[in-house]
Amino acid sequence: MQGKSNKQYADSARGAGLAFVGIIVVLVMAGGNEFYKHCRDHYWNKPDSVLHQYWIPNEADQIWLDSLYEQVKRTEDDVIELNESVNRIDRKIDELILDRIEDNGMKKRNIHE
C-alpha cells in the first residue's frame, strides 16, 4: 500500500481532463441547439404579413397624438412653474431663518455654502 504511481496520477488527470472537455462540448452543443431553435422560432422564416405590420396613423390618430402632446407640454410647463415657486419659497424661508438668527444676536452666515 504505497499509494498511486506517477503513471496512475497522469492517467487520472488525463481522464479528468477528457471528462471536463466532454462536458464542455456537450454543453456547447446543447446551448447551440437551443439558440438555433430560438432563432428559428422567433427571427427566421416569418411570413411577410408578420414582418410588415406597421401602424400607420390616420387623421383621427394624429389628432389624438397631438392632444396628448399638448397635455404633456402643459404638464411640463406646470412642473417648471411649481419648481420655480418652490425655489422662491425656499429662499424666503432661508431669509426668515437668517433674520431670526440675526435678531437673536447670533452671527449671520450664508446657509447656501
Do both 71 and 103 map to the same domain?
yes
Residue 1 domain boundaries: 1-46
CB 113 within 8 A of CB 98: no
CA dihedral 34, 35, 38, 40 (to 10 degrees): -110
Q: Are residues 32 and 71 in the same domain?
A: no
The verdict on residue 32 lying in a domain is: yes
Query: What pLDDT is recorded for position 3?
Result: 76
Cell of 102: 440675526
The whole model's pTM is what? 0.40
What is the number of structural domains in the chain?
2
Question: Percent of the chain, pLDDT > 70?
Answer: 84
Mean pLDDT across the chain: 86
Q: How far is CA 14 from the centre of its chain?
A: 45
Cα torsion 52, 58, 64, 67 to 10°: value is 110
Q: What is the mean pLDDT of residues 61-85?
A: 95
Average pLDDT for 34-45? 84
Report whether 108 contacts 98 (CB < 8 A). Answer: yes
Grid cell in block for residue 101: 438668527
The mean pLDDT value for 62-69 works out to: 94
Same domain, residue pair 69 and 97: yes
